[in-house]
Amino acid sequence: MPDVFADLVGQDEAVGTLRRAAAAAAAVLRHGAERTLVPAGAVDGGTPADGAAPAADPGAGMTHAWIFTGPPGSGRSVAARAFAAALQCAYGTGCGECPGCHTTMAGTHADVRLVVPEGLSIGVGEMRALVLRAASTPSGGRWQVVIIEDADRLTEAAGNALLKAIEEPPPRTVFLLCAPSTHPDDVSVTIRSRCRVVPLRQPSPAAVAEVLVRRDGVAPDVAQWAAAAAQGHVGRARRLARDPEARKRRDAVLAVPRRLTAVGAAFDAASALIDAAEAEAEASVAEADAAERAALETALGAGGTGRGAAGAIRGSAGQLKELEKRQKSRATRAQRDALDRALVDLAGFYRDALTMALRASVAPVHTDTAEVAAAAAQKWDAEGALRRLEAVLACRTAIEANVKPRIAVEAMMLALWKG
């Protein structure tokens, strides 16, 4: 059976760092030296800070707070979960076989808490409650581990609440943050300065294809195509390889350049792109929404009889309204994520046109539209292809800055039509 790091694709340097840290954490437990974990500054980059523990200290190489950074699809959350499993591993290695590894990777370990923002941000109330729970003693005798996916979505107040916990962490608590980068817009400088950073790189298409074949049983030729089309995003490659609907949505996006024949066509293409993103998002959250509502209604006495049940239902309006608010926020995030995937595919097409116009000796992202991209390159030349690529990237930036998606996409489509 492969160990917990097996699915961390193309990240040998990061895996080595995490293995050494997990071994150091296990040494801390063996020595009973709960407070010998060194500050992040003492291990980040390998240079001991003033007052840091010497190399012989069992906690050397391990610290209480980590940030995993890298482009989308590089495996930030995969790395964080695998490291959490290694910390809970009975052997301190992430063997993949012991109960600690199994339950962590399955998401059922009592001492591992995973925070995934359902909306566009992580609020201070949620973070304070999480920090309070994380301060408890581990039930299994090893570590309390808190994994925060999309830590760049922390509000300022939530970030401050987390910072206090990182500055004075409980002796057996480890915080694992995932973010696109350590830029101040993603993670505050004060939080970053107290964490050890593990940078992840975009895996090569060959590495992504290998894991699709090995882990998911995808045919080698399909895996190679999906890995190239996903541009290093492992999850996206898996969806393209296994989901016909995902391939249809991608085909519709890559047809956009051929549809931009007039102003009206540009607006029609914008509407089609937005509608497709909304439909994909609705499909992705519908099942979870229905299950959550049914569970809440059951807890509130739906289907019961008698005066008490009727009173409970009448008093449940506020809780149902709060659930609907959370679900609406989650749907908004899902729509933006779906739209961003479409924009990445579109950017790949214009990138192919640009490299072909420049006669660069690099493989195309979208092999199935390479002929169309080559024809476009002859028509636009390199400068025209670059302007169009920049328009797509500007649209992504605008949406990240909370410009309404429809406005941003319409502006992009007009820019693509004008060239």
- Distance in angstroms (rounded) separating the CA atoms of residues 67 and 17: 13
pLDDT at 51: 39
- Distance in angstroms (rounded) separating the CA atoms of residues 84 and 175: 10
Mean of the pLDDT values across residues 283-292? Answer: 70
- Tokens representing 55 are 């190399």
CATH classification at residue 65: 3.40.50.300
pTM, rounded to two decimals:
0.72
Q: Which of 77-81, 214-218, 399-403 ranks highest by mean pLDDT?
A: 77-81
Neighbours of 219 (CB within 10 A): 11
Task: Answer yes or no: do 194 and 217 share one domain.
Answer: no
Q: What is the pLDDT of residues 43-55, one digit of tens each?
A: 554 433 333 333 4
Q: Tell me if 414 sits within 8 A of 263, measured CB to CB.
A: yes
Question: Residue 35 — pLDDT band, cuts 50, 70, 90?
Answer: very low
Which range among 191-195, 270-274, 287-291, 361-365 shows the weakest confidence by mean pLDDT? 287-291
- Distance in angstroms (rounded) separating the CA atoms of residues 66 and 63: 7
**What range does the domain containing 213 cover?**
207-235
pLDDT at 205: 87
Question: Residue 216 — pLDDT band, cuts 50, 70, 90?
Answer: confident
- Distance in angstroms (rounded) separating the CA atoms of residues 131 and 146: 9
Task: Answer yes or no: do 168 and 283 share one domain.
Answer: no
Task: Answer yes or no: do 92 and 224 share one domain.
Answer: no
Question: Residue 31 — pLDDT band, cuts 50, 70, 90?
Answer: confident
- Tokens representing 215 are 């882990």
Task: Answer yes or no: do 154 and 114 share one domain.
Answer: yes
Q: In what order do the strands lie in the sheet with 65-69?
A: 112-115, 144-148, 173-179, 65-69, 196-199
Domain assignment present for 250: no
- Distance in angstroms (rounded) separating the CA atoms of residues 61 and 82: 17
Q: What is the pLDDT of residues 230-266, one digit of tens each?
A: 877 888 888 889 888 888 888 889 999 999 999 999 9
pLDDT at 200: 92
pLDDT at 204: 86
Q: Which three-class secondary structure state does DSSP give residue 112?
A: strand
Task: Answer yes or no: do 59 and 194 share one domain.
Answer: yes
Query: Considering the chain, what is the average pLDDT of its residues?
Result: 84
Task: Answer yes or no: do 185 and 219 share one domain.
Answer: no
Task: Answer yes or no: do 226 and 117 share one domain.
Answer: no
Domain assignment present for 308: no
Task: Answer yes or no: do 105 and 165 share one domain.
Answer: yes
Q: Tell me if 185 sits within 8 A of 400, measured CB to CB.
A: no
What are the angstrom distances between the C-alpha of 284 and each of 73, 287, 400? 18, 7, 21
Better-scored residue on pLDDT, 81 or 185:
81
Better-scored residue on pLDDT, 239 or 56:
239
pLDDT at 311: 54
Domain boundary at 176, 199, 222, which? 199
- Tokens representing 304 are 């019961």
Domain assignment present for 344: yes
- Distance in angstroms (rounded) separating the CA atoms of residues 253 and 113: 37
Question: Residue 73 — pLDDT band, cuts 50, 70, 90?
Answer: confident
pLDDT at 57: 45
Better-scored residue on pLDDT, 327 or 207:
207
Task: Answer yes or no: do 190 and 222 share one domain.
Answer: no
Better-scored residue on pLDDT, 111 or 52:
111
